[in-house]
Amino acid sequence: MLALHSENQYCLYRKSTDMRKSFDGLCGIVESELKRSATSGEVFIFINKRKDRIKLLKWQEGGFELYYKRLEQGTFELPKASGPARSSAVVWPELVMMIEGIPLVSDRKKRKRFRPQKQP
């Protein structure tokens, strides 16, 4: 069961990622480009070029877990980068705000999200 919470450490890969990549491809990015261990227990966050898809990769005892969300409308807002680093640390509240479409900067409106029409 995928369990994410404030106790986890989150690492955002800042380059756009091909969302066709699965466990092995994402682990390859973690190991070769970020120079980190994919089995460290950190949660690695990947975003596609259009910023409408997000994948979170986490090692849980015994194997990898993958969370994938595709937005039907709107985009994910990423935290500001401090320099040209390939990755940056993200804290739990920022991750929740990103996924829910809540602006990371207070002067912005909530980002669009798809809402299906209610059936009569």
pLDDT digits (tens, 9 = 90+) for 12-67: 999 999 999 999 999 999 999 999 999 999 999 999 999 999 999 999 988 999 99
Q: What is the pTM of this model?
A: 0.84
Residue 81 has pLDDT above 80, yes or no: no
**Domain definitions of the chain by residue range:** 10-100
Alpha-carbon distance values, 112 to 35, 40, 77, 86, 108 (Å): 35, 34, 11, 27, 12
| pLDDT for 67 | 95
13's tokens? 């890969």
Characterize the bridge pairing of strands 10-13 and 53-60.
Answer: unpaired
What order of strands is seen across the sheet that includes strand 10-13?
A: 63-70, 53-60, 43-47, 10-13, 87-90
Contact 114/39 with Cβ under 8 angstroms?
Answer: no
In sequence order, the 6+-apart residues with CB closer than 8 A to the CB of 36 are 11, 30, 42, 44
Who has greater pLDDT, 88 or 80? 88
